Chains A and B, each alone.
Chain A
Amino acid sequence: MAGACFGRYTHAVVRAVPGSLQDHAIRDPASSPVDLAKAQRQHGVYVGILRQKLGLQVIEVPADDSFPDSVFVEDLAVVCGDTVLVTRPSALSRRGEVSAILPVLEELKLRIVEMKDETAMLEGGDVLFTGREFFVGLSQRTNQRGAEILADTFKDFAVSTVPGNGSLHLKSFCSMGGPDLLVIGSSEHAQKALRTMQQLTDHHYDKLTVPDDCAANCLFVRPGGKGHALVLRSAEDYPESIKAFEKLKDYTLIPTSMSELNKVNGMLTCCSILVNRKLDV
């Protein structure tokens, strides 16, 4: 189902960085202040990569200052095949973000499933789709009920829960670097989650361990359905980790910096919803 077409996308949904992000976005208290202009610049580069280097049709939703975290669109929707599950973010301040995204998803003719259950919480950042199955990190932002709804939505796939990552998203320390390639950070909780996932899966995944957790979040795309392209954090952000990525053969590595959004827990995958609407049978 997924193996061959994993990483094939036609569209990307992004949303511009709102001015309110600088002051109001959810963040660790300890993090340094965000340079808004730089963040917007970096986001612009990111969108440029999606559009030009990855050949995706980018649909840009205008920024809305009333939603400081709205740039992180990934959390709002989980897309698999032609179905999209519109999630229910944990933070009240983010619940309204969906309304701007919905019309776009409809336009893409996706089958939309909305999470209506009041007790459910799920953010896309906690959902790792490997091409064969889902892992859902149970965190402060995603609960069991949310995962259940995900499982009900994507019945074809096994949905396994990975417990306990505190406030962090599952994908803040891991992501798919290719078909059956799991990129994982080397922190203790990342490794623990990796073990859990290995225990839970029926499949075998190769793993690529990188020194920095945040660098483990990368964006794998097969532009035009061929070749392997990996958008990853630049050497400027994580000089050590990029070396690990360089071991990958036959990959087009596209480094980019995301340092500013990173301060508000922004990751590479966070900033886009990738959709494959060319139904290839």
Chain B
Amino acid sequence: MTSEITEKDKVIQDGSNAEGTVVKDADTSESKASPGTLTETGRSTGTTGRGLSRLLPSWMRRSKHSSKPETVPLTKEQPGSTEDVAEDAVLLKTDGPDDVSAGEKAEKEKCARVDLPGAAPVKSKVEEPPTMGGEGSEQDSKDTEKTASHSSETRIQKRGSWREYKLWGRKTKEKDKEKNEDKEETTEEKPALEAKMDVQEVGKEEKRAQGLDLRKLIDDDLIEIIDDVSDSEEKPGEQERDEDKGIKDQVNPTGEKEASEHAKEETEQPAEKEQAGDATSGQGVEAREPTPAETPKGKQDEGSTAEQKKEGKEKQMPGRVARSVSRRSRHVSCKVALLDGTSFECLLEKNACGQALFDLVCQHVNILEKDYFGLLHKDEAGHKNWLDPAKEVKKQLLNPPWLFSFNVKFYPLDPAQLTENLTRYLLCLQLRDDVTRGRLPCSFVTLALLASYTLQAELGDWSPQEFEGNYATAFRLAPNQTHELEERAMELHRTHRGQKPAEADFHFLENAKKLSMYGVDLHHAKDSEGTDIMLGVCANGLLVYRDRLRINRFAWPKILKISYRRSHFYIKIRPGEFEHVESTIGFKLPSHRAAKRLWKVCVEHHTFFRMVEPEKIPRGRLLSLGSRFRFSGRTQAQTREASARIDRPAPLVRRASARVQPSMAGSTVRTYTAMSSDGGAATASRAFNTARAAQAPAMPTSDGEDDVFLTPPLPRRSGPGEGKATSEDQPKGVLFYTSGEQDDRAETDSSKTDSSSSDSESGAEHEPPRVQMRNIEGENIYIRHSKLMLEGLDKTDEDMARRKDSLSQLKRSFMEDTLPPRPNEWDKRLSVGSPGRPSPRISMHGSPLQSPLNFSFREAPEGAGQSGNGEAMTTEALTVTYQAPQADSEDGEPDVLMSAQTITSESVSSTTTTHITKTVKGGFSETRIQKKIVISGDSDTDHDQALVQALHEATVQHPGMAITRVVVHKETDVPASD
């Protein structure tokens, strides 16, 4: 496989190089270009002279010069051969003002072809389908709708029924031309090289940017067209619903009967068009038919919009909304079923696109790693379709009410790599549902194991008093839940003692991900012999099942092209080691729509997962891939990159059990703690998010996992034998020392993951050079307070990323280390003055980083004294957290950040940073003061004394506040002479 890829790469590079020159030459205005040179292409690599001369397809010209369709020469008579399309694309590519990747250009061109009325006669010839026979229904629908010219109808039908998606090696160019295949839509993977170039150029030149945007728009456009076609096929009535004729004309095939002038007119009024509805479609239209004079303007427009889009969905959305608002203010109510069984309702602009809704939902769920998720809606037949974010919602659904469900769309191969516990929690919820509905089959043993983690996550530790009888019955754990299973699950539940909810989730996922059907999206189909089979789309490729047996498998790299026509789905297989000819394999799907659905899912999965390879991941390439046809989201690699940057406290995980009072009753300290920790963290995150939004860059986004800040200072009962005395347990005003920040955290930590991260953070605290390691949870303040002192504020992104990386690595290694359940490990850690820290931690921070510094953990004041002696340089950071006593423990409602301020003061030997946040939540106001005191000095300094002094001062300064947490840690330099 590797060798194949490299070969391909070579080809690509060659191709792109060759093209690069062409592009430069051709980088002139479109209007100048002769028809021959106008074409651009996706398969830049494959460009051949023959293709150029031959192709110059009418549609291309049309697209660029829509005003004079009559000048378009007839293309080959050969019915829409794929080759033609591909080559056209190539031509376009070279010629385009922007060296945008070819595939998308090609798509653009196709779009143009579709929509341009003038092209119809030519079109019909080109696409004259030999296999037209079966499409009567489509024709019928079209006929009834509008009196489109026959030729245009034919063309459209064809388009609608036949899609292709080429899977080239990551950056491959397809060498072998496909001959004599009549397909109209071809998507190709852009060569990586080109992609990269594109992105860079976007940054540099506006022209380039425009090109990129254009490409995106085109993608969107194409999507729309396709959908419209299919809509027209299957939902004839739908079109009448939309009165926005302008759009219809543009996007809908039925509009083609309109004179070509119409198209021109529209080009001249781009603004109007945009308003008319979907901005994307409007832009797409512009892109397609700019008159020479207007081209620059139109492009500019598009460019900016697309840029917005690229920059972020949030940005994109407002623009869109604003536009549509100006035109019509009708709203539609949407209801989205969430994974936790609740539902989310909102009013959505009638013209809003899927992304807008999705963003709303994600905001509601408070999830940042949202690329793994999507919205499902059921069509009339009860089939579930993913809502296309790039398309208007209304075009994908029938009449209101709009009902959706929020689901995992791409199951991450390694859930441990997800950044946030919340994401993992949602994935768990999805998988629990998959399991109970039988979509994810698993054996009895696994069922019981998964169920036990569910119990642990939802109920906390098992205890004899609290859990009596068959408490597992309350949960839906398996498709056919038996008493035996419940028994077994409860039995296993006892063994998970000590696991925080997030840990339990983690273990759940670690087991679930190994299941063979994890993340496999099954589709009914028949093979060429009519045997019933299932096609499973997954991260790695396409699986073929007969009954439950896997009978074939096509990894993505093996597939050159996927396409569908009518109800058939085809994959073209790359010639392999043993088969020297590429072959096409066809499957029969129950319906055209099913074929399309499968095709879409394939395109999306391929795009999302395929680009993840450890050795590369230049950003540019991924970015451009992310904008690929059909899949407007980010790829997994991008998502990971993005989530590595997530810099917020862990968001609230509102577990179902939080609603279950018995487990919350607090009879088990641990359970209670865990719960509130989740909740508290969430509140914290909210507050901090707000703060951040309010431009408080120096804001100490306190460790998100750390519920301490917001947890109520309610007295908590320590469980017998738990041996943990936490700051929360302390009466107000009494300082409580722990042996390190992580101790504090671990206690309330909701997961090992978290603890590992916090561990690593604290490690960083101990050693200035390790500052890079912290940052996972956004504890900027600690960074500033390590020896580099207050310097860390303006870290570059690169820096951040690097730290992120090392952190997540540590995180991972830590988790591996600690995977085997150690029931009382947490208890041990939590106990104050516990003699040893978990060894994984130490090795993590000590050995891998090879820091020259020697650090020791200090436990309580005495410890500090000892370790402070004999060392040349000592830095101590002290964190004191106060909490106003009236803070509310119920965190059900979002809190509002009233104010946040950070004060830094320095003296000779110490630096004090005070951070004060005031939040209002649930009718209570809460003031939190976080003080970081860094005491630095050599061994002469009496650190203990300084510490005591500082604490005393802090107490005096804030009477009436309860100290919720004190973290002491210490960094030491080994004397050089030693």
Contact = CB atoms under 8 A, between A and B. Distances in A.
Interface of A: 1, 81-83, 111, 133, 136, 144, 147-148, 151-161, 195, 199-202, 281
Interface stretch (B544-552, B621-629, B956-964): B544-552
B551 A160 contact: yes
Given A83-B444, A155-B443, A199 B552 contact: yes
Contacts of A200: 550-553
Task: Bin chain B's interface residue count.
Answer: 20 to 34
B547 A151 contact: yes
Interface stretch (B100-108, B511-519, B853-861): B511-519
A159 B550 contact: yes
B516 A281 contact: no
B549 A144 contact: yes
17 contacts: A1-B511, A1-B514, A82-B445, A136-B549, A144-B547, A144-B549, A148-B547, A148-B549, A155-B441, A155-B442, A156-B514, A158-B550, A160-B549, A160-B551, A199-B552, A199-B553, A201-B553
A246 B416 CA distance: 38
Given A1-B511, A202-B540, A281 B550 contact: no
A148 B548 contact: yes
Contacts of B715: none
A275 to B, nearest CB: 15
B575 interface: no
B809 interface: no
Contacts of B446: 1, 155-156
Contacts of B548: 148, 151-152, 159
Given A1-B511, A133-B516, A156-B516, A83 B549 contact: no
Contacts of B444: 83, 111
Interface centre among A1, A83, A148, A152 (most CB of B within 10 A): A1
B975 interface: no
Interface string B526-569: 00000000000000100000111111110000000000000000
A156 B549 contact: no
A82 to B, nearest CB: 6
B511 A160 contact: no
B24 to A, nearest CB: 43
B821 interface: yes
Interface in B569-597: 578
Contacts of B550: 158-161, 200
Contacts of A161: 546, 549-551
Interface string B207-218: 000000000000
Given A1-B511, A281-B495, A157 B549 contact: no
Contacts of A160: 549-551, 553
Contact of B443 (A83, A148, A158): A83
A255 to B, nearest CB: 34
Nearest to B449: A281
B551 A83 contact: no
Nearest to B548: A151
Contacts of B552: 199-200
Given A82-B445, A83-B444, A148-B549, A157 B495 contact: no
Interface string B418-442: 0000000000000000000000011
B414 to A, nearest CB: 14
Q: Lowest 4 CB-CB distances: which A-B pairs, in order?
A: A158-B516, A151-B548, A155-B441, A160-B550
A145 to B, nearest CB: 9
Interface of B: 441-446, 495, 511, 514-516, 540, 546-553, 578, 820-821
Interface centre among B441, B445, B547, B578 (most CB of A within 10 A): B445
Nearest to B511: A1
A144 B532 CA distance: 14
Contacts of A83: 443-445
A161 to B, nearest CB: 5
A90 B663 CA distance: 54
B872 to A, nearest CB: 45
Contacts of A157: 516
Given A1-B511, A199-B552, A200-B553, A156 B547 contact: no
Nearest to A147: B549
Nearest to B558: A199
A213 to B, nearest CB: 20
A82 B516 CA distance: 18
Interface centre among B516, B540, B546 (most CB of A within 10 A): B516
A153 B549 CA distance: 12
Nearest to B547: A148
B422 to A, nearest CB: 26
A159 B550 CA distance: 6
A53 B436 CA distance: 45
A281 B820 CA distance: 8
A220 B553 CA distance: 28
Contacts of A82: 445
Contacts of A111: 444
B443 to A, nearest CB: 5
Given A159-B549, A199-B553, 17 more contacts: A1-B511, A81-B445, A144-B547, A144-B549, A148-B548, A151-B547, A155-B442, A156-B442, A156-B443, A156-B515, A158-B550, A160-B550, A160-B551, A161-B546, A199-B552, A200-B550, A200-B552
A281 B553 contact: no
Contacts of B821: 281
A159 B547 CA distance: 11
A158 to B, nearest CB: 4
B583 to A, nearest CB: 13
Nearest to A199: B553
A6 to B, nearest CB: 13
B473 to A, nearest CB: 22
Nearest to B553: A200
A81 B553 CA distance: 26
B817 to A, nearest CB: 14
Nearest to A153: B443
A168 to B, nearest CB: 20
A201 B543 CA distance: 10
Contacts of B445: 81-83, 156
B551 to A, nearest CB: 6
A166 B553 CA distance: 23
Contacts of A199: 552-553
Nearest to B520: A158
Contacts of A1: 446, 511, 514
A81 B540 contact: no
B536 to A, nearest CB: 10
Contacts of B514: 1, 156
A136 B578 CA distance: 22
A260 B731 CA distance: 81
B546 to A, nearest CB: 8
A158 B550 CA distance: 7
B578 A195 contact: yes
Interface centre among A148, A156, A158, A195 (most CB of B within 10 A): A156
Contact of B553 (A136, A154, A202): A202
Contacts of A195: 578
A151 B443 contact: no
Contacts of B515: 155-156
A155 B438 CA distance: 11
A227 to B, nearest CB: 20
A53 to B, nearest CB: 29
B787 to A, nearest CB: 41
A153 B550 CA distance: 15
A151 B549 contact: yes
Contacts of A202: 540, 553
A154 B514 CA distance: 13
B204 to A, nearest CB: 41
Contacts of A156: 442-443, 445-446, 514-516
A33 to B, nearest CB: 39
Contact of A81 (B441, B443, B511, B516): B443
Nearest to A157: B516
B819 to A, nearest CB: 10
Interface centre among A144, A154, A155, A157 (most CB of B within 10 A): A155
